[in-house]
Structure 1
Amino acid sequence: MLSCDQQAELAAALCATAETLGHALSASAAELMAEDLAEYGMEQIATALRACRKELTGKLTLAAILQRVQAADGRPDPNEAWALALAASDEFDSVVLTDEIQLALGAARPILDAGDKVGARMSFLSAYQRQVDTARREGKPVNWALSPGFDQQRRVMAVEEAGRLGRLAAPVVEEYRARLTHEPITQDGAAIAGLITGKSAMPSPEVRERLQEIKQSVLATQAEREQRRSDGIAKRREAFEHNRKLQLEALEQLKERRA
């Protein structure tokens, strides 16, 4: 959240950017725009403003700034997200996914398991967009994590590929690699340990079914936790707006008494 001084600095930058695009932006409008952008970092906003100066041919708008701020957060577009989700639905494959992809896949999986790929895609895209919109509105940074499959070689490959794409930091890649190449303690535990090791054994159908249930339970728990977090943020935002309204009313009353 930007401080009051940073918001004032941002308002000045907005006015300057609007001027370079050939129009004037009032101080009050710039202040409102700065307030709406306050949940993002100054570096993100500065990058978006530079893009606006280079790309816009019309007036500077809040929507144009937000579009560029959000596009730079590292989240894949819906179609790419769906392709990653499909790969993750294969229990043998390992894929690095964002939190939003995992939550949306959890919502669409029952439809996908029923064989309705078209319906699953529609459900996924809708859920994914909602999750992304919520995360961006709350200023939540993108988070990539490994969804492991049974194919032992694909796990390390998926992590290394994510590192090359900049989705996982180098220390995280090294940590994953160390975990994924660790030998299981006993042969009996190899099938389950295979989810986090580099040399797994093929589990029996019963174990595979149980591991799938565990994976779905984790996704459901993540979705529930995310919903509770969103509800809490909404309540705090509502309380903040209520207090702000009371403060503005008190300020107006003070102005009237002084007049």
Structure 2
Amino acid sequence: MGSVLKSESRDGVLLLTLDRPEARNAVNAELRAALSAAMREFAADDRHRVVIVTGAGDKAFCAGADLKELAGRGTGQPPPDYFAEFGPDDFIEKPVITAVNGAAYAGGFRLAQFGDICLAAESASFAISEAKWSRGAPWAAPLTRMLPRRVLAELLLTAQPISARRAYEVGLVNEVLPQAELLPRAWAIAETIAKNAPLSVRASKWLMRVGAEAGVSATASIGAELFRHVYDSEDAREGPRAFREGRRPEWKGR
């Protein structure tokens, strides 16, 4: 993966660690390219069913874009593919867990937000800090559905951080944990998901995706079609058969 992004693989789970602790794991061109490549590989790789994203050290998950690097490039709106780490429309069919080990600011907040499940260390904090430096946060659009309006206004307009506990209270974070328990808990959740039927898991992600943008009736209709492919699969026959025989299912993903 290179010197700025570390990887580890275990039992169908991929761990990616942003590894620029001296720069608070800020995303420079090298890290952005490495993370984009790693996520594309994960999306296409049947060996891994879940990915965990975390940061090196205990100070920062990710401080966002490397402003020192940006200062050397001049101003201007980022190109359309600037935030391409998770695909052109910020969607990957397979589950993503973000383990926020410290400060998640600006683009780092965005990385944390991308997780289907987000865990945070007790020392973590979250900020949409772009307004402090005359930057923009179009990536915050999904937060208009995830957060109450006044909570989002506080984050966007003050550009000040909120604690991990506050993030949990407003629904941004699933669990808040001691630093030493963060990655073990992320691994445990990821391994639980990885044992489930991959077609069901992927259809469930699509259901959540559709539900975020469509009404309940439309989502139910599309969901029926999504899961029709699951019910027609070889795995759908394997599940009940394994239950009857008292063994763990052997999923084929088809």
Is this a same-fold pair by TM over 0.5?
no
TM-score by length of 2: 0.26
TM-score by length of 1: 0.26
Which structure is larger by alpha-carbon Rg, 1 or 2?
1
Structure showing the higher helix proportion among its residues = 1
